[in-house]
Amino acid sequence: MLKIENLHATVDGKQILRGIDLEVGAGEVHAIMGPNGSGKSTLAAVLAGREGYEVTAGRALYQGQDLLALAPEDRARQGVFLAFQYPVEIPGVGNAYFMRAALNALRKARGEEEVDAIDFLELIKSKMQLLEMNQALLSRSVNEGFSGGEKKRNEVLQMLVLEPKLAILDETDSGLDIDALRIVARGVNALRGPDRATLMVTHYQRLLDYVVPDRVHVLAGGKIVRSGGRELALELEKTGYGQLAGTGAR
């Protein structure tokens, strides 16, 4: 599904990623962990195509094609989704309207018919139920005045509506209380399937109690310094990231 080779990237001339190698197969959930400033969010941003990040070496193949050559909207249309760490507010643009526009942009790119407002409402209401979201959020402006938890849930809601093949979650768990975390995890798990993959960027291991990963990678100093199974996350929780110093962490 996703194959990253020797990926190097800079932000404002500063080297952040220093040679990432990672392979995520269809049906797999991978967790990327690591201390602050290790490059986790940069990796997510580079994969989604955010401006201001320069890839200086290496490549990323998505379903066999050069992902980094595509415009952000084309990546999205081919099934790449990023749940933002800081979801953006768009005043005056209705939340439901926005999501339907996004869904129809994806459907159009796939040569499918657009979904009308009534069918869309039915679809989204069922997803909102799963995430225990207040339906009043549909008629509000995108993320405007949403609480931190509502914003994160709104990201997962969009993910469920758009049904990506590759979902990248950038610290979706941060700032959530335990109940909200459980609900968000329910959303992420709902999308697991043999032809989808998920990349979860997280600082804490507690999300992994609810979304059990196939692989865990530790990022430090712009490189993956350790990879392992679920137990690696638990070990990190005990020992912290500190012991990684000397193995590439700054």
Partner 1 sequence: MSSTDLLDDLTRREYPHGFVTSIEDDQAPPGLNEDIVRLISKKKNEPEFLLEWRLKAFRHWLTMEEPVWWPKVSYPRIDYQSIIYYSAPKPKKQLKSLDEVDPELLRTFEKLGIPLQEQQRLSNVAVDAVFDSVSVATTFKDKLKEMGIIFGSFSEAVREHPELIQQYLGSVVPYTDNYFAALNSAVFSDGSFCYIPPGVRCPMELSTYFRINAANTGQFERTLLIAEPGSYVSYLEGCTAPMRDENQLHAAVVELVALGNAHIKYSTVQNWYPGDKDGKGGIYNFVTKRGKCAGKGSRISWTQVETGSAITWKYPSCILQGDDSVGEFYSVAVTANRQQADTGTKMIHIGKNTKSTIISKGISAGRGQNTYRGAVKVLKGADGARNYSQCDSLLMGDRCGAHTFPYLDVRNPTATIEHEASTSKIGEDQLFYCRQRGLSEEDAVSMIVNGFCKEVLRELPMEFAVEAQKLLGLSLEGSVG
The pair phi, psi for residue 182, each rounded to 5°, is -65, -40
Task: By CB under 8 A, name the binding residues for partner 1.
Answer: 48-52, 71-73, 75-77, 81-82, 84, 87-93, 98-99, 101-102, 105-106, 109, 141, 158, 162
Nearest distance in Å: CB 240, partner 1:
32
For partner 1, which is the closer residue by CB, 110 or 238?
110
168/21 Cα distance (integer angstroms):
16
Q: Which helix (H) or strand (E) holds 156?
A: helix 148-162
Question: Which of 217, 219, 221 is CA-nearest to residue 249?
Answer: 221
For partner 1, which is the closer residue by CB, 106 or 211?
106
Nearest distance in Å: CB 73, partner 1:
4
Nearest distance in Å: CB 195, partner 1:
19
Contact 161, 130 (CB under 8 A): no
Nearest distance in Å: CB 105, partner 1:
4
3-state secondary structure 204-228: CCHHHHCCCCCEEEEEECCEEEEEE
For partner 1, which is the closer residue by CB, 102 or 121?
102
For partner 1, which is the closer residue by CB, 198 or 205?
198
For partner 1, which is the closer residue by CB, 109 or 212?
109
Nearest distance in Å: CB 15, partner 1:
22
Question: Which of 230, 193, 181, 187 is CA-nearest to residue 33?
Answer: 230
